[in-house]
Every structure is written in structure tokens, then in C-alpha cells.
Structure 1
Amino acid sequence: MKNDDRIPAMKFSKVYPLYVEKAERKNRTRAEVDRVICWLTGYSAADLQRQIDTESDFRTFFAEAPALHPNRSLIRGTICGVRVEEIEDPLVRNVRYLDKLIDELAKGKAVEKVMR
């Protein structure tokens, strides 16, 4: 998993617009993206914006998350050809959980179903 080595240092603020763009291409909204991210991490909307503004990397973004949702372990499936539930590194697994949630949102799944 060579790409996984780079994930912790990636800037959340650089990836976030890509999440929003992906969702918007499928007629979803930034508000829905934010709602899913806040559900996963426990951030408030203001705290999420602060993470974006300070250009936190994924390591910091998840380390400072107020309360990672206990149901995140229910997120199953593949992302980038890898089953998320089989990823050993907890940080990389959390990032891939987020990726999977954004994918599900973009594929038209109801926000309430995305947020297990």
C-alpha cells in the first residue's frame, strides 16, 4: 500500500474541495458533504471550517476530531480496490471511511443511510 504512506500528510483542505466537487457533480450539496463529515468526526460546522482554514493534514484532522462516530466500523465495501474494513492502519482506515461515505453520497444514497 504505497499510496497509504502519503495519506497522513495529505492536507485535508486540499482534498475537501474534491469531495465537494464529486458530490456536486451528482447533484448533491456541500451542506450534505459537511453533514456527513461532521457525523463521522464529531466536528461542528465551525470546527470543520477551522480545520479547512488552518490547512490541517489528515493526521491532525482525525487526531483533533472531537468524537469519531462509533458506527464508523459499520462502513463496508471497497475504495481504491481495497476493502475498508481490512485496512490495518487506523488513520488510513478513517480516511478511507470518509472516502467511502462521500462515494455513497455521490452515488445517490440518502444522507440518512450514509450516516449509519
Structure 2
Amino acid sequence: MQVMDLYEEFFPKVLDKIKISTVRFGHRDDSHLPLGFTQINATKGQADSIVVDVTNKIYKTFGTLTEEDAINDGFNSLQELKDVILAIYKDRGVTDDSAVTIAYFDVQYVMQGVRPNAPKAAELKP
């Protein structure tokens, strides 16, 4: 199973079905069934994992992302989504022509586990 880190503040949005997709930099062929998201609880040194089925993948460019894409990814606005993408991928030279992959998913189950720490999105600076 492929595992992607998910910033801890987004984890509840997946469980509450507010976040039903994830936008990732590049043309990703590796987002396949099943997919697991890992959220780190830094204070407990533990991780929870969500296993999801990828139901659809859409390929776009960064410049063609929409408000709807942002809402489906759990953000309040397109600008908020773009700011986070620019912060996460700041070393990749993201431009309006950069490819992005949007993976839509359905939650299957949650499990306990351990993973290395992932930073919080708030710690990233664009």
C-alpha cells in the first residue's frame, strides 16, 4: 500500500468527509488503490493511519486549479490551497504551468501505527 503523509490539521477533515481529495505536485501515477494517509501525533510520538480507496484522479496544472478543487481538498479558498502547495513544494519551482494530480478518495478504515514525524502545514513558509 502506498502511504502519503498528511499534515495533522487535515486529518480530522478527512474523517469528517470535508476533505475528499488531495492535490499533489506533479503528474502522479503512484496514487493507486489502496492508499493510506498517515497523521502524526507529535505529543504522543504516535501516528494514526487512514486507508482510503482512490476513486478518481484528475490531472491539471497549478494555474487551472479552482475554488471547487480547494473546497474538495478541505480548504476555505483557492488562495489558501495555493499558498499551502507553494509552501510544501517551495523547492520545486511551482508555476502556473506545473502539473498537479488531484486524487479523490473514500475512507475505508482507520488504524493505529507508527511513522516518522511530518511537519505541520503551519510550520511551512511560502
TM-score, length-scaled by structure 1 = 0.33
Rg comparison, structure with higher value: 2
Pick the structure with more strand per residue.
Answer: 2
Pick the structure with more helix per residue.
Answer: 1
